[in-house]
Amino acid sequence: MKIKSQQKYGADIIVSSLMKNLGAGIATSGGYVVGRKDLINSVAERLTAPCVGKDLGANFNQLLSYYKGLFMSPSVVKSTLKTMIFASRMLEKFGFGEVSPKYDEERTDIIQTMDLLTEENLIKFCQGVQMGSPVEAYVKPIPDEMPGYPHKEIMAGGTFTPGATIELSCDGPLVEPYTAYMQGGLTYEYGKLGIMIAIENMLK
């Protein structure tokens, strides 16, 4: 597999999670490694056992979910991008500060940022995203201290697979300009519904 970013930025090896884009919210664990052949072999030797390497692999008995995730990932990523474009346009129309990227700008990832201007807006928006989640919609996230973060954070994400950020999730630090970082939506319909509920909750 030839990765353009390897040539452009000089990366020898790239590692990522299968709980995100390529796993399509189906794979509950796992990851992938791409890069120079000699480095891939070195990774494989250390991941399993010397002289076994890629011949065995570490699949945690999840190969079926990996294959399903890879098969469904184009559709899921498309839904996610549509959801983020919808979020960007809606927040822009309601005048809640700056959004990045804007709905008609080129995108390089699945993350949408929104400056919600006030602490109350950020909290209500994240709580609304949780209310629109398919799992644990009854949970009400509240801001709190979190390891590794310099400010109090609020996080929302009622996801089928914990930590699968390809599913609809939103978080942000309680500091000006009260930026929310949103991503995901396994389907456009559920992502759109979650955003509409979040905006409605913020407008109450």
Are 158 and 130 in contact by the 8 Å Cβ rule? The answer is: yes
Query: What average pLDDT score do residues 20-44 get?
Result: 84
Query: Is the model's pLDDT at 67 over the cut of 70?
Result: yes
Those residues whose C-beta lies under 8 Å from the C-beta of residue 94, and which sit 6 or more positions away, are 199, 203
pLDDT of residue 83: 95
Considering only CA atoms, which of 118, 26, 149, 131 is closest in space to residue 76? 26
Give the integer Cα–Cα distance in Å for 39 and 60: 22
Strand order in the sheet with 111-115: 99-100, 111-115, 179-183, 169-173, 153-156
Q: Are 22 and 16 in contact (CB under 8 A)?
A: yes
Task: Looking at the chain, list the stretches that DSSP marks H as alpha helix, in order from N- to C-terminal side.
Answer: 4-9, 37-47, 63-94, 119-131, 188-203
Query: pLDDT for 71-105, tens place per residue?
Result: 999 999 999 999 999 999 999 998 888 999 999 99
Question: Which band of pLDDT confidence, cut at 50, 70 and 90, is reported for residue 37?
Answer: confident
Q: Which amino acid is at 137?
A: A
